[in-house]
């Protein structure tokens, strides 16, 4: 059994963290440290904002001895095949939020959400298998919203989108996601995507 905490990066401007984003990550790192979280694998999606978030959190949690691993499977697949523009993505997110904002709603109404679910589910399972082979037990992955939330085994209980520095803790056993828990950021975020 392994656990993977997928977290959304801090507030950004384009692909850089803002000063508020840095503070959000610092506060979240302090909160996770106080709660006793101990990671043996650190992963980011390859975007600057996720790598920067991971660096800050690793420093706060005194995990600087661990390498920061880039895993492109925690970034969006070529989203243009599903939603051609950022405006299309935002319009779809608005529509889903107005219809209730849950993953369940998104999966019923959005081909994009269904495709992303298949993609991120596979990414989490593959990471879990790799971790098991390396005898690792707990990974922290900085990624994006709503990507992180789409693998939840309980769509009706999961928001479709996370606030900045929110996360979802997945427990994986025998190639299946068996549980999840929403981990809220120490400082409030401003958007769900």
Q: What is the DSSP string of 13-29?
A: ETTEE-HHHHHHHHHHH
What six digits make up the tokens of 100?
Answer: 């209730």
Dihedral-angle region of residue 174 (phi above 0 means left; psi in -120 to 50 means alpha; beta otherwise): left
Print pLDDT tens along the chain (193 aa).
999 999 999 999 999 999 999 999 999 999 999 999 999 999 999 999 999 999 999 999 999 999 999 999 998 764 445 666 778 888 888 999 999 999 999 999 988 899 889 989 999 999 999 999 999 999 999 999 888 999 999 999 999 989 999 999 999 999 999 999 999 999 988 777 6
pLDDT recorded at residue 115: 87
Euclidean distance between CA atoms 109 and 8, whole angstroms: 23
pLDDT recorded at residue 103: 95
Residue 160 DSSP label: S
pTM: 0.93
Beta bridge partners of residue 16, listed in sequence order: 13
CATH class of 2-183: alpha beta
């Amino acid at each position: 059994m392994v656990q993977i905490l997928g977290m959304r990066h801090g507030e950004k401007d384009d692909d850089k963290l803002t000063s508020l984003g840095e503070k959000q990550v610092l506060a979240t790192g302090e909160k996770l440290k106080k709660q006793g979280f101990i990671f043996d694998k650190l992963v980011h999606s390859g975007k600057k904002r996720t790598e920067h978030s991971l660096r800050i959190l690793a420093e706060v949690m005194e995990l600087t001895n661990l390498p920061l691993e880039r895993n492109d499977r925690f970034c969006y697949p070529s989203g243009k095949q599903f939603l051609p523009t950022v405006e299309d993505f935002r319009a779809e997110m608005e529509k889903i939020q107005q219809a209730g904002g849950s993953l369940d709603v998104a999966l019923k109404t959005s081909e994009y959400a269904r495709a992303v679910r298949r993609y991120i589910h596979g990414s989490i399972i593959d990471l879990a298998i790799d971790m098991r082979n390396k005898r690792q037990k707990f990974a922290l992955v900085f990624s994006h919203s709503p990507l992180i939330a789409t693998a939840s085994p309980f769509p009706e209980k999961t928001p479709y989108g996370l606030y900045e520095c929110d996360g979802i803790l997945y427990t994986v056993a025998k190639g299946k996601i068996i549980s999840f828990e929403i981990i809220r950021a120490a400082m409030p975020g401003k958007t769900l995507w």
